Structure 1
Amino acid sequence: MKAVVVDNYNSIDGISIREIDTPGLGAGEVRVRIGAAAVGFVDGLKVQGLYQTKDPLPFVPGTEFAGTVEAVADDVSAFKPGMPVIGMTRSGALAEYISVPSAALKPLPPQVPFEAGASFQANYLTGLYALEARAALQADEILLVLGAAGGVGIAAVQIGKLMGARVIAAASTAEKRDFAVRFGADQTIDYTKPDWRDTLKELTGGHGPDVIYDPVGGEVSLQAFRSIAWRGRHLVVGFASGTIPALAFNLPLLKGGALLGVDLAQIQKREPETHTRLMGQLFDWLASGQLQPVVGKIVPFENFREAFKTMQSRSALGKMIIKLG
C-alpha cells in the first residue's frame, strides 16, 4: 500500500509517499481503508521531531481518519466489512490502510462524508472538554476564542454557541474573521491591532471575557488574560504562535482568574467517565445535525505536503484534510 513515511525527523519536503506492507490484523483489531485523513498542527511538529513526545522511527504520520471497514479480527463483533467509521490513533493515518483496536473506532453516521468525519474527533473533543469540563462555560457568558479560524478555534466557536455563550472570535485577517462569523461567532476582533484590548473592552461593556479559549500562546495570550473578567477562566490549549508565554502570578490574583490546562492526549486515561460522556454528547450532536464539522481545504493524497505547509503557515481555515482513494 502507499503511505507517507517518516524515516528521519525532517522538514515536510524531506518526507515522501512510498510503498509499504499493508497492515495485518491482530486480535481485537479492525483494518480500515482510509477515505480521508486530517492534518493538524501537532502532526507537523511530529514529522520534524519537535513535538514533546517522539514517535519511533520509521513511522507513518496522521492521527485522525475516516474510511470503510475492510476486515475484522475473529473476536470483533461491533464492526463489519463495509461499515463507514472514524478513528483516532497515535500515528498511521496517512496511508491507504490502517489496522487499529476496535475501541479506537466509532461508526460514522451515514449522512456525514469522510472529509467531515476525519476533521471531527480531536478538535471537537478538545473544545467540549475545555469549555464544559474545565471552564464550566454557562449560557450567556462571554467566550473569547483566539485563533478562531483554525481547526481548533472554529470548533470552539461552534461548541460555545451550542452551549449558549456569546462568542467573540479573534483572528488576524478579515477573511478569517468572516469565516468565524459564518460558523456562529457573534462578534470579531483583529488581535494584530495595538488597541485590540480597547475594542474587546468596548464589546463586553467593560466586563471582559468570562472564558478565553487559547490555542495560540505568545504575547496575545498575556494581553488576553489582562482583559479577563473577574473569576474568568483562561484555557491553555496550545501554542500555535511557537512561543510559550510566561504569566506573572500577580495577574491571576488581581483578576480572580484561573489558568486551566487542556491536554487531549490525557483525557481518556485520566478521566475515562468524562471522556465517554463527552464523546456521547458530540456524537449525539453529529447524528442530529446540530453540529457539522468544519472542513477546511481538501488536498489529494499525492499533494500531502501542501496540507502540512498550509497548517504550519497558520493560513488554514478549518481543518486541513487529505483525501485518499
Structure 2
Amino acid sequence: MSTPTDAPVGNSPYADSSGSFRRQGPRFADRIVAEPDGEGQWPAEPGRYRLVVSLACPWAHRSLIVRRLMGLEDAISLAIVDPLQDDRSWRFTLDEDGVDPVLRYRYLEEAYLARDPDHGTENGVSVPALVEESTGLLVTNDYPQITIDLGIEWAKYQRLGAPTLYPEGLREEIDAVNEGVFHDVNNGVYKAGFATKQARYEEAYTALFARLDELDERLEGRRYLVGDHITEADIRLFTTLVRFDAVYHGHFKCNRQKLAEFTNLWPYARDLYQTPGFGDTVDFDHIKRHYHQVHTSINPTQIVPLGPEPSVWLEPHHREELGGSPFGADGTPPEPLDGPLRPLPPLDM
C-alpha cells in the first residue's frame, strides 16, 4: 500500500477529477516460484529475500500473516518500516541509525530505484515488497500474488502442519469472494475515505455496507468464508475488518455501524484474531498512528484517538460451534511469538 502524505486539506492526492479514489496497481509483478522457467521469475531460496512491511498497512499485513502461518520466518527475513512517512514514503527510522540492518537502506524507495532508476515516489512506493538481500533490488510489490506464492511456491520450506490457503478445488469460489471483497471492502473503505465529491463517497459507502451485509449473512451458518478452514479469502477480509472500528469507521466516514455491531462478522473477526498468526500480527498503535498522523488531508490536527479498547477482541466468539478447524484437518498452529513485532515509543505530548 502506498498512501498520501501531508496533503492539503480538502484535497486527496489519490482522487481523480470526478472525486473518485483511484488505487495504483503493483508496478513490479515478478514472481518468486519453486521452479522458474521464464522472464520475471525468481527462485524460491531461503535466505535470499527480505519482506518489507508496515504493520499499519492492511495489504502488507496479509503477507505477514501468511509468512507466519506457513512458518517461513527462517526462510524470508522481515523488515518493518515506520508507520509515519515523509515525502520519500516508507522509511526505516525504527531501526538503529534509521538504516535497515540487512539492506542498508534508509528508505524503501532505494530498493525501487535499484530496480528502476527512473522510478520516482510519484509512481508509488508500496508495501509489501520483497527485496533481494544481496543486491538490494526490489523483486515484487504484487501484493495479491505475494501471498498466494508464499502459500504454494514455498512449499518445500514451509513448517509441518502449515494450512493450505488456496486449495485447488476451492480456487474459483475463493477468487469470486475475493473479487467482491477487494472492490467493495478492502478498497471500498479507501474509496469512501479519499472521495472528494459527496456522490462518490455515498457510492462507496453504499457498496461497502451492502457487501458487509452480504458477508454477515454468508457467515451465519459457516465458520469461514470458503470451505471449513482458513483460506486466502479470510486473510484478505480480516486485515480490513481488524482496522474497521479503530480507523475506517470514523477516519474514513464508514459509520453506518461499527464492526462490533454486526451479528456474525464481529464474532468471525474475533475468531480469526484469536487464531495464532492473526491477532499476534496486529498492532493497533502502528495502525492508528499511520492513518491519523499521515492522512493530514482528513485529520489535519494529527490527533490519535485512544480507543477502541483492544481487549474486546479477546472476548469469547463461540464460532467453534459451527465446526471446521482453523488449519484444516491435519494442520497445526504456528509456534507462539516471543513478543510484539515492533513496539513504538510513546506519542509526543
Higher relative contact order (CA 8 A, sep 6+): 2
TM-score (norm 1): 0.30
Give the structure with the larger strand fraction.
1
- With structure 2 as the length reference, what TM-score do the two structures score? 0.29
